[in-house]
Amino acid sequence: MKIANLIDLFRILGLLLLSLSTGCEQASTHQTLSERMAASHSRFNAFMRELTEASDQPVQPLPETVPFDKAAAKLGRALFFSPKLSANGTVSCATCHIIQQGGDDNRPVSIGIHGQKGELNAPTVLNSGFNFAQFWDGRAATLEDQALQPLINPKEMGNRSVQAVADRLNADPQWLRKFIQTFGEPASPQAIAYAIAEYERTLITPGSRFDRYLLGDRDALTPQERRGWELFRSYGCISCHQGINLGGSMFQKAGIYRPLSAHEGRWLGRYNVTHRDADRQVFKVPTLRNVADTAPYFHDGSVPTLEKAVTLMIEAQLGKQPHSQDVADIIAFLKTLSAPPKDLLHEN
């Protein structure tokens, strides 16, 4: 056979294979986003599983980096700080979740659109990607699920619907361009959620002193802090506030031995989701990382100080009588859980 013919053959075959591959592909951008999300989740999950499997300690240090969708995260950051997400353009995510200040707004409850007071204390956004659920009642399994809810909360961002937000964003050519650049399609609720979630996943605070201590640096903690860490364990705080986030991995009844807050009974917590009596006053155990920066404490933000929070916790949850020195030590320890958020976006 002539070489020319061979080349032709290869050409033909190549073309056919090409058409094959494209034919099999279902060309739909919607799927792309979902798949992208799914892929991201899978990646993150796998990462976290590995992280948790690798250690048999109840508490692990934060990883220096996490896998994330960079383009989405960039867009997410833009969205996070954009008040355009709110109905009147006054409230952004960052309004209630101030990243440089521990990831919350340091208020008992947040102030949403039109200065409305929210209902519960804003959890920190920092390291929120490591939580097993979002919201105090854990109704959002993923950050994506969480991200859209403030948008349509009449007390928070006050949009009629997320689609309205999407439309508003699409009306803006810049936002439209951003979305198209990132996802190849205009803004959609899913895209918005994913972007913000991906950004939030990047908000980690590795390198705290406690983490360094966990990683082997014995001198990262002072003796008191060490004592505090020990007391943290011996009191039994660790039984709930454990895992990579020192919390954020289980639900627990707030007020086992005695009521935790004055507004006991008002907030139903998990019951909102499961509608089981046993789940009344069951809340997600919050992360203690950066706890020193996230006053006031508890779901209703009724406890302004760590001291009081710790004392209450020990009494109500552990049924023990805390000694003030122990509390001080524990607080000293808790303070070592703070670290500034890492700029993963720029690092990568």
Partner 1 sequence: MKIDNSMPDRLYQFVLRHGLWVEGALLVVMFTIWLALRPSLLQQAPALSAHVISLRQDLTAIEEEKSRLQQFTLVRPDRVQWLTRDMHLHLRQLKKGVRQVGLADVSQTLTMLQARLEDLFGTFNSALREHAIVVDSYYTLPILGEQCELDLRKHSAIPATLHPHDIYTALLLLPLRKDLSAEKIRAVMPSIDKAKAALPSDSEACSRFISHAQTFLHHFSQLRHQMDTLNLDAARQLIIRLDTQLQHHIAQAQYHQHLVTITLGGLGGVMAFFILFMLILLNRTVKRLRAQKRELIHTSRLYRALSDINEVIVSEQDERQLLEQALTILVNDLQIPAGVITCCPDENNVLTTVAIHAQQPLAHQLLEQIRFDITPDTGNATATMLPAWKEGEIRALRNIDTHPRLARWRPLLQRFQIQHVITVPLVDGNGNSRYLLTLYLSTDEYAGPATLQLLREVREDLELALHRLHLLEKQRQQAAQLRLAEVAFNAHEGIVIASEEGRIERANETLLKWCGLDLNHMADETLPALFVEQSVIQHVMQELPHSGYWQGELSLRHVDGTPIPALTTLTWVPPSQETDRTGHYIAHCLNLSRQRQLEHELRSIQQRDPITGLPNHKALIDQLNTIMEQIMPRGECGIISIINIRGFKSINTALGHQGGDALLRQLAERLRERPAFPHLTARSSNDEFLLVPIHFFSSQDAARQWWERKYAEVLGMLSEPYDINGQPVQVEYYASAMLFDHDLPAERIVDEIETGIQLARQHGQGVTQLYFHTPGASASSRPDREITLRHQLEQALDKGELLLFHQPIYNTMERRYSLTEALIRWKREDTLVSPGEFIPVMERYPQLMTRVGRWVLRQGVADAARINRDHARPVSVSINLSAVQFNDSELIHILRDSLARHALPPDRLTLEITESALMTDLGRTRALLAALRELGVHVAIDDFGTGYASLQYLQLFQPDKLKLDKSFIDPIDPQDRRTLAIPEATVAMAHALGAKVVAEGVETAEQAAALSAIGCELLQGYHFARPMPLDELLDFLKRTETQ
Among all residues, which ones are annotated catalytic? 156
Which has the closest alpha carbon to 306: 322, 319, 320? 322
Neighbouring C-beta atoms of residue 274, cutoff 10 Å = 16
CA distance to 50, 51, 303, 340, per residue, from 294 (Å): 29, 26, 11, 13
Kindly tell me which of 53 and 219 has the beta carbon lying closer to partner 1.
Answer: 53
CB of 242 to partner 1, least distance (A): 7
Give the nearer residue to partner 1 in terms of CB position, either 62 or 96: 62
Contact by Cβ (8 Å): 145, 200: no
Task: Kindly state the smallest distance separating residue 84's Cβ from partner 1, in Å.
Answer: 30
CB closer to partner 1, 18 vs 171: 18
Do residues 303 and 297 touch, judged by C-beta distance below 8 A?
Answer: yes
| Size of the chain in residues | 348
CB of 73 to partner 1, least distance (A): 20
**CA gap 112, 118 in Å, rounded:** 6
* Angle, helices 189-201/143-152, rounded to nearest 10 degrees: 120
Are 130 and 205 within 8 A, CB to CB? no
Residue partners of 175: CB distance under 8 A and separation at least 6: 84, 169, 187
Strand partners, 283: 252
For residue 8, give every residue at least 6 positions away whose Cβ sits within 8 Å of its Cβ, in sequence order, or none: none
Work out the angle at residue 66's Cα, subtended by the Cα atoms of residues 203 and 333, and round it to the nearest 5 degrees.
Answer: 60
Closest CA to 191 of 94, 199, 174: 199
Please, what is the minimum distance in Å from the beta carbon of residue 273 to partner 1?
Answer: 9
Strand partners, 252: 283
Task: Considering the complex, state which of residue 133 and residue 191 has its C-beta at the smaller distance from partner 1.
Answer: 133
| Phi, psi dihedral angles at 140 (to 5 degrees) | -105, 115
Cβ closest to partner 1, residue 41 vs residue 155: 41
Residues at the contact surface with partner 1, assessed by CB under 8 A: 1, 5, 8-9, 12-13, 16, 19-20, 23-24, 34, 38, 41-42, 45, 48-49, 52-53, 58, 132-133, 141, 236, 239-240, 242-244, 249-253, 256-257, 274, 276, 278-279, 282, 318-321
The nearer residue to partner 1, 81 or 132, going by C-beta atoms, is: 132
Contact status, residue 340 vs residue 98, Cβ threshold 8 Å: no
* CB-nearer residue toward partner 1: 35 or 343: 35
Beta-strand runs (E) in the chain: 251-253, 282-284
First to last CA, the chain: 53
Least distance (Å) from partner 1 to the CB of residue 123? 16
Minimal distance, residue 210 CB to partner 1, in Å: 17
Shortest reach from residue 138's CB to partner 1, in Å: 8
